[in-house]
Amino acid sequence: MGRRKNNQTSTSLNNTQHQATKVCFDDDEEEENINLDDSIVATEKAIAMDDVTMSDPNAPFVDGGDDDKTSADYYFDSYSHFGIHEEMLKDGVRTKTYQNVIFQNKFLFKDKVVLDVGAGTGILSLFCAKAGAAHVYAVECSHIANMAKEIVESNGFSNVITVLKGKIEDIELPVAKVDIIISEWMGYFLLFENMLDSVLYARDKWLVNDGIVLPDKASLYLTAIEDAEYKEDKIEFWNNVYGFDMTCIKKQAMGEPLVDTVDQNQIVTNCQLLKTMDISKMVSGDTSFTVPFKLVAERDDYIHALVAYFDVSFTKCHKLMGFSTGPRSRATHWKQTVLYLEDVLTICQGEALIGSMTVAPNKKNPRDIDITINYSLNGRRCVASRTQHYKMR
């Protein structure tokens, strides 16, 4: 899975949502005068290392590191580094939405027991505690859990928040049931890293019968884009590298989805809903699926890639809330997922690119995703049909 270089900001900051999703994201609607920047700064200060530790290149970021870690532990080890959490905390769309969901719906949290799955620095747990939760259990597997404990203590919530280090599947809670499960489990392409299974496990084991999962809805979308310039630079480059044939690498590059921000002006077709997941009811196997798609051209153009993105919704709030990671919405750290096509498709307005997408966790590493796309175009100027396989890793 790749990323474009030197593209840290969105090329599209248009707040207009596609018509398929209507959610509330209003930075001005808050019950309290809460400054997100202050919350993030306080968290980052607690994460920062002292000068002595920072000057020691052999010192671990957090105490308690194991010397016998293997590559199987890389996923959780990667979340021990503060940089990942800094990126997520500074994603205002993500963090501000969760903050608004909690602070504008305190009636959901008042005197309730909350489970935060994959708590990271504990920011969501802190929001819940401040909203009046009776107790919050913050479960985090990576070594950042040690920092989360310090953050909780530094902010005076040790009597309300208990940080538990370990995999949600391995730990035991001090209580039999919880009223609310909250988690920011979404990965690139919604399902990359497969953290959703951990949320479903926690739901089935600890959530009361009438309990709430936040967020409770997630939807995956697909569209098609013109992207000649970057495909030439990223993919076709391997055809002739200083006079040498390196097309074997081109095949690999084609099979690795690219995480990047797509300019909304590149969009050639409609945006189609592929699948909606109800987190409160779905089962683990629902993350494997095959769905059809029909993308209709809105203008005469070329199609070089398909683009996937997702929306999440909090439907249990007083007012529907959520956010989109689509090209027509404010940029997030999830960006969009670009899947390049081997063919360059010449499509005319009104013509349809039809096909199907199959998504499943990789059998060897379920945190990776295998994607298969079948597509065909029977147009006036282009006829094409192909099956392509991708792997997010």
* Per-residue pLDDT reduced to its tens digit, 244-274: 999 999 989 999 999 999 999 999 999 999 9
| Half-sphere exposure for 99 (CA within 13 Å, toward CB) | 24
Residue 327: both structure tokens together: 């090209």
Lowest mean pLDDT among 39-43, 128-132, 166-170, 281-285: 39-43
Query: Above 70 in pLDDT, residue 69?
Result: no
Q: DSSP string of 232-283? A: HHHTGGGG-BTTB--HHHHHHHHTS-EEEPPPGGGB-B--EEEEEEETTT--
**How confident is residue 62, by pLDDT bands cut at 50, 70 and 90?**
very low
pLDDT of residue 87: 81
Walk across the sheet containing 207-214 and list its strands.
Answer: 161-165, 135-140, 113-117, 178-183, 207-214
Q: What is the SS3 assignment for 125?
A: helix
Q: For all residues of the chain together, what is the average pLDDT?
A: 85
Top pLDDT among 91 and 153 is at 153
pLDDT of residue 32: 40
**How confident is residue 82, by pLDDT bands cut at 50, 70 and 90?**
low
CA torsion angle for 238, 244, 248, 250 (degrees, to 10)? 0
**Residue pointed to by tokens 């006079």:** 243
* DSSP structural state of residue 204: H
**Mean pLDDT of the 346-358 span:** 98
| Half-sphere exposure for 82 (CA within 13 Å, toward CB) | 16
Lowest mean pLDDT among 82-86, 138-142, 156-160, 303-307: 82-86
pLDDT of residue 185: 96
**Mean pLDDT of the 120-145 span:** 96
Lowest mean pLDDT among 6-15, 16-25, 217-226, 374-383: 6-15
Task: Respond yes or no on whether the N-terminal peptide bond of residue 215 is cis (omega within 30° of 0).
Answer: yes
Q: Which residues are catalytic?
A: 184, 193
Query: Above 80 in pLDDT, residue 146?
Result: yes
pLDDT of residue 46: 47
High-pLDDT (> 70) share of the chain, % = 79
305: number of Cβ within 10 Å: 23
Top pLDDT among 34 and 242 is at 242
Of the candidates 388, 304, 390, the one whose C-alpha atom is nearest the C-alpha of residue 345 is 304
Lowest mean pLDDT among 45-49, 55-59, 290-294, 350-354: 55-59
The pTM assigned to this predicted structure is 0.82
The CA distance from 272 to 296, in Å, is: 9
Query: Above 90 in pLDDT, residue 26?
Result: no
Angstrom distances, CA of residue 31 to CA of 28, 41, 107, 314, 355: 9, 21, 12, 18, 46
